[in-house]
Amino acid sequence: MKSLYFRIYLTLVALLLAFAFGSAWLFQRHIEQERGNVELVAGERLNAMAGLLKLALPQATAPREAQADAFADWGGRLRMPIALVDAEGRRIATTLMFQRRVDDRGAIIVSASLGDGRSLEMVRSVRPAMPQGGPPGPPGSGPAARPPRLDEGPWAGPWLHRSVSPNAPAVSTLAIVLVLLFIGVAAGAYPVVRRLTRRLEMLKRGVEQFGAGQLGLRVDDSGSDEVAALAGSFNQAADRIETLLRSHQSLLANASHELRSPLARLKMAFAMLDDAGAAQRERLAHEIDVNIAELDALVEEVLLASRLEAGSAVGDSHAVELLALGAEEAARAEVAFEPETDAARIDGQERLLRRALRNLLDNARRYGGPEVKLVLRPVAGGYEYVVADRGPGVPADMRERIFEPFFRLPGHAEMAGGVGLGLSLVKQIAERHGGSVRCLARDGGGSRFVLFLPSSKR
Sign for the CA dihedral angle at 383, 408, 352, 294 comes to negative
Q: At how many degrees (to 10) do helices 64-78 and 2-56 cross?
A: 120
Distance of CA 343 to the CA centre of its chain: 49
Counting every residue, how long is the chain? 458
pLDDT score, position 365: 86
- When pLDDT is averaged across residues 93-113 and rounded to a whole number, the result is 84
- When pLDDT is averaged across residues 236-246 and rounded to a whole number, the result is 81
**Planar angle of CA 451, 453, 456, nearest 5 degrees:** 165
Bigger pLDDT: 375 vs 176: 375
pLDDT score, position 452: 95
Q: What band does 3 get if pLDDT is binned at 50, 70 and 90?
A: low
Query: Residue 335 above 70 pLDDT?
Result: yes
Q: What band does 129 get if pLDDT is binned at 50, 70 and 90?
A: very low
Bigger pLDDT: 386 vs 141: 386
- When pLDDT is averaged across residues 202-220 and rounded to a whole number, the result is 84
Residue 173 phi, psi (nearest 5): -65, -40
pLDDT score, position 257: 59
- When pLDDT is averaged across residues 320-328 and rounded to a whole number, the result is 92
In angstroms, the CA 106 to CA 125 distance is 6
232 by DSSP, 3-state: which?
helix
Residue 339 phi, psi (nearest 5): -75, 140
Residue 89 phi, psi (nearest 5): 90, 10
pLDDT score, position 379: 92
Choose the weakest-confidence range: 19-23, 446-450, 454-458: 454-458
Query: Residue 161 above 90 pLDDT?
Result: no
Of the chain, the percentage scoring pLDDT greater than 70 comes to: 78
- When pLDDT is averaged across residues 283-308 and rounded to a whole number, the result is 76
Mean pLDDT of the chain: 77
**Cβ 360 vs Cβ 399: under 8 Å:** no
Query: Residue 132 above 50 pLDDT?
Result: no
Choose the weakest-confidence range: 75-84, 90-99, 163-172: 163-172
Query: Residue 163 above 50 pLDDT?
Result: no
Buried residues in 29-63 as b, exposed as e (16+ CB within 10 A): eeeeeebeeebeeeeeebeebbeebbeebeeeeee
**Cβ 288 vs Cβ 300: under 8 Å:** no
225-237 pLDDT tens trace:
777 888 888 888 8
Q: What band does 186 get if pLDDT is binned at 50, 70 and 90?
A: confident
pLDDT score, position 110: 83
Bigger pLDDT: 365 vs 317: 365
Q: What band does 165 get if pLDDT is binned at 50, 70 and 90?
A: very low
Of the chain, the percentage scoring pLDDT greater than 90 comes to: 11
Q: What band does 133 get if pLDDT is binned at 50, 70 and 90?
A: very low
Query: Residue 448 above 60 pLDDT?
Result: yes
Beginning with the edge strand found earlier in the chain, give each strand of the sheet holding 436-441 in spatial order. Answer: 336-339, 373-379, 382-388, 447-454, 436-441
Query: Residue 106 above 50 pLDDT?
Result: yes
pLDDT score, position 324: 92
Query: Residue 96 above 80 pLDDT?
Result: yes
139-159 pLDDT tens trace:
333 344 444 443 344 334 443
β-partners of residue 450 are 386, 438
Query: Residue 177 above 60 pLDDT?
Result: yes
